[in-house]
Structure 1
Amino acid sequence: MKTVFMTGVTGYIGGAVAARLLKAGYRVNGLARNEKDFPALTAVGIQPVAGSLDDEAIIAREAVIADAVINTASADNPYVVATILEALAGTGKKFIHTSGSSIAGDKAKGAYANIEPLTFIPKKPRLEKAARVAIDRAVLAGEGHYSVICPTMIYGTGTGIKKDSAQVPMLTEAAREAGHGVYIGAGENRWSNVHIEDLANLYLLTLEHAPSGSFYYAENGMLSLKEIATAISKSLGFGGKTASITIEEAVRRWGIEGAQFGLGSNSIVSAVAARSLGWLPVHNNLLSTIVQSERD
C-alpha cells in the first residue's frame, strides 16, 4: 500500500481528495493543526500528523517518508512548497500542488469579458496573482515528478470533514440576508466550474498517470454570476428575484480578494489538458446542484 502525505486534509478540497485516495487503496497521512480534528480524521481512515504549515521540519520529514505528496492547504504559501520541493529533490517522488483559477481572473467588477478560455498558466497574470503564478511555475520547473492542478469554482457536497465550498455558500449567505439573490455589478462575469467529486478524481488520475510538468485546469462548464444568483434565489424560495451590489459593497462584505477575484471577475479556462489525460467529469449542472442542496 502506497502512502501519500497531504496538507489540507481538514479542508474542502483536501478532504475530498483524501477520501478518493483512500477509496483507491492508498494510505493517507494528513497534516492537521488542531488535535480536535484528529478523531474525525482517524474515523475516515486518515492518519493525522500533528503540525502546521509553519512546521518545516515535520513537513520535510513526512514528505521523505511518503511515496507521494499533495498540497491542498494553500495556493499562496511559498514556504510550504519550497520545503516540499527541497525534501523531494532527487527522490523521483510525485508532488501535486493545488493552485486556483483566479490566476486567470481579471478586474471586471461584474462585467462580461469576451476572452478565450485559458489552457495553461497565464503569461501575464494580474499583479495581484503574480506570486501564485510564480509558485506554480516553480513547481513545474522543479527537478522531480511534479504537477499542478488548478480548480475553478467548485461546487457539491464535500466528501471529507468540510462539506461546503467557498463561492456558492458566500452568495447563498448574502441572499438569505437580503431576501434575494446577489451579484456584483451587471453580474455578467463568468466563471468556469467543477464538481468536487470530479475534481477529486482528477487528483487520483494525476497521481497515477500524469507526466512530470503537467498543469491541469479542472472545469466542466461555465456560468455567469447572475445565473448562479438566480438559482440561489429560487432555491431559497425568493422566486428568482435578484439584485446587484456595487464592488465597494462587495469588498465590505467579502474583502477585496473575495469581491474582486472570487465573485467579481471573469475566470474562464479549459480543461483540455486534463481531458487528454483521460479525465471524464460526470457532473455538469451547478444550477441544479444549488437547487437540490437546499432541498436536502
Structure 2
Amino acid sequence: MTPIDTRIFLTGATGYLGGSVLSRLIEHPTYEHTEIWVLIRPSNESKIPVFRSLGVKTVLGTYDDLDLLEDQAAHADIVFACADADNLPGAQAILKGMRMKHERTGVQPLLIHTSGTGVLIDDAKGLHSTDIIYDDMNPDQIDSLPPTQPHRNVDLAILKADRDHYVKSYIILPSTVYSHAKTKLVALGVQNPRSIQIPMLIRAGLVKGQGGVVGKGENIWPNVHIGDVSDLFIVVYENALLDKAAHGREGFYFGENGEHKMYDVSKAVAQALHELGKGRSPEPEPFTEDDYEHFGRSNLEYLGTNSRCRGRRGRLLGWKPKYTTENVLKSIKFEAEYVIQHEKA
C-alpha cells in the first residue's frame, strides 16, 4: 500500500474553478502520496460515486456546516478553499480547524484560498476607466484596500491567521475567468464547466432582446483563461510545498493575462446575438432602468466596475499563462450559442 504523506481538504469540487483545480491535483505527481477529501453539497450526493472511483474521498455538507468544516480542516495538511469567497463564518471555521492542527502538530498547515479581483472594484458604472492598477508585488498597495470591499473581510481574517503563525496563507485572485472547462471531471459529468461574468452579460442581452452595455462600457477588467488560472493554483501549490512561495501579506497572487474594456466585450456579445437572431443590432445598447429592474441592478452594475491589476508574483514562481484578451473575444459567440441552446431566454 502506498503511504499517504499529505492530506488535502478542498471545497468547490463540483464548481467551475474548484473542479478544474481538483482535476489537476488528481493528475499531479504528488497524488500518489496524497489523500484528498472534498466537500459535496447534499444536492450533489449522486456525484459521490464518481469522486470515489477516482480515489477522492467525500464529505457531505455545505459552508453552513461549520463544525464539519472545522473538523475537516483540523485533519488537513493543506486546504484549497475554492468556493464562496464571501462566506466569513465558513472561512473562520476552516481557520479554527487549522489552528487546532497547528496546536496538535506544531506544523503550520497551508491554506490556498480563492478570493477575486472583485476586491479591487470601484463604482464607475461603465462611465470611465481608472489609472489605478494593483500590483501583487506591492503588499503596501494591497494593504490600502478598504475592509468594505468585496471578499476583503475574508481575506483579512486569513491574513490575521498567517500573522498569528498557525497558517501559511496563499490568496489567489482570479479575474474575469472565461472559456469552458475541459477536465476529466467535466467529462464525467460532475463539474460545472461554465464561467459567470460573460454568460451573465449574454443572459442580460437575451432578456433585453439586444446586446447591452453598462453605461459607456469604458471600464476595464483583467481576464484569465480557466486553464491558465488553474495552472496558477498548481504553481503556487508546488512552490508552497517547497516553502518557496511567499505567504501572508506577500502571498497575494493575481490571476490575469491581459485586460479588456467592457465595451469591447459588450460589442462582441451584441454581434454574436445579432448573428444568432437574438439581437436587433450588432452594436451594444446601454442598459435601461427597465433592464436594471428586470435583471438586477447589482448584477449589471458589477459589470460596469473597474478592476485592474498585474499578476507578477505567480510569474516569478514559473506561471506561464498562454491565453490573451483576443481569446476572450473569440470565445463569446460559442458562449452565446451555449446559453441559447441550454437555457431559457
| Normalised TM-score (structure 1) | 0.89
Matches within 5 A, 1:193-212: 193-209=223-239, 210-212=245-247
- Partner residue in 2 for 1:13: 17
Q: What is the distance in 1 between the residues matched to 2:270 and 2:38? A: 37
Question: Structure 1's 185 and 294: CA in aligned 2 closer, same or farther, altered over 3 A?
Answer: closer
1:123 aligns with 2:144: yes
Q: Which runs of 5+ in 2 are unaligned?
A: 137-141, 240-244, 339-345
| Counterparts of residues 32-51 of structure 1 (less than 5 Å) | 32-34=40-42, 35-42=45-52, 46-51=56-61
Please say if residues 268 and 329 of structure 2, whose CA atoms lie closer than 8 Å, have aligned partners that are also in contact: yes
Letter in 2 for 1:56: L
Matched, 1:286 2:328: yes
Residue 38 of structure 2 aligns to which amino acid in structure 1?
G
What is the identity, as a one-letter code, of the residue corresponding to 2:110?
K
Which of these residues, 309, 315, 319, is aligned with residue 275 of structure 1?
A: 315
Match of 2:211 in 1: 181
1:165 is the counterpart of 2:189: no
Are the aligned partners of 1:112 and 1:188 in contact in 2 as well (CA < 8 Å)? yes
Question: What is the CA deviation profile of residues 60-99 of structure 1, one whole-angstrom value per residue up to 9, with x for unaligned ones?
Answer: 2222333310111111111121122222222311111111
The CA deviation at 1:295 is: 6.7
CA contact under 8 A between 1:18 and 1:46: conserved in structure 2? no
2:242 maps to what in 1?
none
Deviates more, 1:40-49 or 1:197-206: 40-49
- Cα deviations across residues 30-80 of structure 1 (Å, max 9, x unaligned)? 101121332454456543211111222222222233331011111111112
Q: Which whole-Å CA distance do the structure 1 matches of 2:111 and 2:149 have between them?
A: 25
Letter in 2 for 1:259: L
Q: Partners in 2 of 1:200 and 1:45 — Cα distance? A: 20
Q: Distance in 2 between matches of 1:153 and 1:173?
A: 16
Is the CA contact 1:109–1:184 (under 8 Å) kept in the aligned structure 2? Answer: yes
TM-score normalised per structure 2: 0.78
1:66 matched to which residue of 2?
76
Could you tell me which residue of structure 2 aligns to residue 105 of structure 1? Answer: 121
Q: CA deviation at 1:106?
A: 0.5
Partner of 2:299: 258
Change (3 A) 1:277 1:226: same
Q: How does 1:72-87 map to 2 (within 5 A)?
A: 72-87=82-97
Change (3 A) 1:126 1:84: closer
Match of 2:154 in 1: 135
**Secondary structure of 1:240's partner?**
coil
Question: Could you tell me which residue of structure 1 aligns to residue 254 of structure 2?
Answer: 217
1:208 CA drift (Å): 1.7
Aligned residues: 292
Deviations 1:196-218 (A, max 9, x none): 11111111111121232211111
